[in-house]
């Protein structure tokens, strides 16, 4: 006679799983708290978006109006698209020249900042030597130093170097003031890169210079793009430094100085439409740059945490 086989209980025969009332209530409370915080976050983001978008949109619409429309119906659409406002701002107010000066200064200063900043950050992040931390914290301390506190000594330093009222002086100062953030950001990014790749490169005969430029720098491309865009935006909108360093060379003014000069003259000439056209010319390039490189910026900001 075969021994009796014991079958496993069917799911229907299993006793129901009991859940403590306190645990269920706790989970419901946490879910409610998460939903509340998410709702508050969305509200805050919506308010912030309105605060940022509305002034930009208003400036863009005002750039197509005349002075009468700007003051009589500021929140309505322009009666017609007056592109002559842009032509007048570009030619008569010399915005074209100031725009070109800004492009030249920002291009060279961003290139210098990224070159020297990435080299310094790589050495501080990947090499161990005496004084490493001291040099790193010296760079980082520059983030807490307000620009306006150094304007007077900076003026005399640049003057003694013979670089006052020159684009070269402005470029060097931009690089110096952009290095702290660049080194701080890229040093943390270089630390996340795998050491095995650098070791393989050294075994294959790469010098330190070749290893940096041909191996490690391409791997840090997301971080370079992110910090590069931040430097471009910050240097493009800089006003205090060129105001001090280019005060006596109007033909070398950058865009922020030119717009400030237009705003002063607008109070006497009443060319408010030209002023808003110039503001639009200054704002649109940065919006376009950020829109094009938005994904790269987000990738660079998050890749360090993912690796």
Residue 135 Cα distances to 123, 130, 225, angstroms: 11, 10, 24
Supply the range of the domain harboring residue 112.
Answer: 94-306
CA distance 261 to 266: 9
pLDDT digits over 20-38, tens only? 555 566 666 677 777 888 8
CA distance 215 to 49: 40
Is 89 contained in some domain?
A: no
Is 192 contained in some domain?
A: yes
> Within 13 Å of residue 105, how many CA atoms lie on the same side as its CB?
32
Task: Read off the pLDDT of each residue in 224-239 and give the average, rounded to a whole number.
Answer: 91
Q: What is the pLDDT of residue 307?
A: 46
Is 59 contained in some domain?
A: no
Query: Look-up: residue for tokens 């000594």?
Result: 153
- At residue 1 the predicted structure's pLDDT band, cuts being 50, 70 and 90, is very low
Q: Structural domain tally of the chain?
A: 1
Q: Which of 99-108, 182-191, 197-206, 246-255 has the lowest mean pLDDT?
A: 197-206
Is 161 contained in some domain?
A: yes
Residue 6 has pLDDT above 80, yes or no: no
* Average pLDDT taken over every residue of the chain: 84
Residue 176 has pLDDT above 80, yes or no: yes
pLDDT digits over 192-219, tens only? 888 888 888 888 888 888 888 888 888 8
Residue 79 has pLDDT above 70, yes or no: yes
Task: Read off the pLDDT of each residue in 40-48 and give the average, rounded to a whole number.
Answer: 89
CA distance 52 to 57: 9
Residue 246 has pLDDT above 60, yes or no: yes
- At residue 123 the predicted structure's pLDDT band, cuts being 50, 70 and 90, is very high
Q: How far is CA 115 from the centre of its chain?
A: 17
- At residue 305 the predicted structure's pLDDT band, cuts being 50, 70 and 90, is very low
Helix H or strand E encompassing 120: helix 95-126
Is 83 contained in some domain?
A: no
Residues in the chain: 307
CA distance 164 to 249: 9
Query: Residue 234 is part of a domain; what is its CATH number?
Result: 1.10.3720.10
Is 148 contained in some domain?
A: yes
Q: Give the angle subtended at the CA of 136 by the CAs of 131 and 137, to the nearest 5°.
A: 100
Which is more confident, 1 or 135? 135
Is 60 contained in some domain?
A: no
Which is more confident, 241 or 267? 241
Rg from Cα positions in the chain: 29
- Quick one: CA dihedral 106, 181, 187, 133, positive or negative? positive
Is 49 contained in some domain?
A: no
């Amino acid at each position: 006679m075969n021994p009796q086989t014991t079958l496993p209980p069917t799911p229907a025969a299993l006793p129901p799983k009991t859940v403590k009332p306190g645990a269920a209530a706790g989970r419901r409370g946490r879910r409610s708290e998460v939903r509340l915080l998410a709702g508050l976050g969305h509200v805050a983001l919506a308010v912030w978006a309105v605060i940022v978008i509305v002034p930009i949109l208003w400036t863009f619409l005002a750039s197509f109006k005349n002075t009468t429309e700007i003051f009589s119906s500021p929140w309505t659409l322009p009666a017609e698209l007056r592109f002559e406002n842009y032509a007048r701002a570009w030619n008569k107010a010399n915005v074209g020249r100031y725009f070109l000066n800004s492009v030249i200064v920002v291009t060279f200063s961003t290139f210098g900042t990224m070159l020297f900043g990435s080299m310094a950050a790589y050495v501080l992040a990947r090499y161990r030597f005496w004084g490493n931390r001291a040099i790193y914290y010296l760079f980082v301390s520059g983030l807490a130093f307000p620009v306006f506190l150094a304007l007077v000594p900076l003026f005399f330093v640049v003057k003694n170097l013979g670089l006052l009222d020159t684009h070269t002086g402005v470029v060097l100062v931009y690089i110096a003031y952009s290095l702290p953030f660049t080194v701080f950001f890229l040093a943390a990014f270089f630390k996340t890169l795998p050491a095995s790749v650098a070791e393989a490169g050294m075994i294959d005969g790469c010098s330190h210079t070749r290893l940096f430029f041909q191996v490690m720098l391409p791997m840090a491309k997301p971080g370079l793009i992110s910090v590069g865009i931040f430097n471009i935006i910050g240097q493009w909108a800089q006003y205090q430094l060129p105001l001090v360093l280019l005060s006596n060379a109007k033909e070398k003014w950058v865009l922020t100085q030119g717009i400030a000069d237009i705003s002063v003259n607008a109070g006497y000439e009443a060319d408010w439409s030209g002023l808003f056209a110039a503001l639009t010319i200054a704002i649109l390039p940065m919006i376009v740059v950020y829109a094009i490189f938005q994904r790269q910026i987000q990738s660079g900001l998050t890749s360090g945490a993912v690796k």
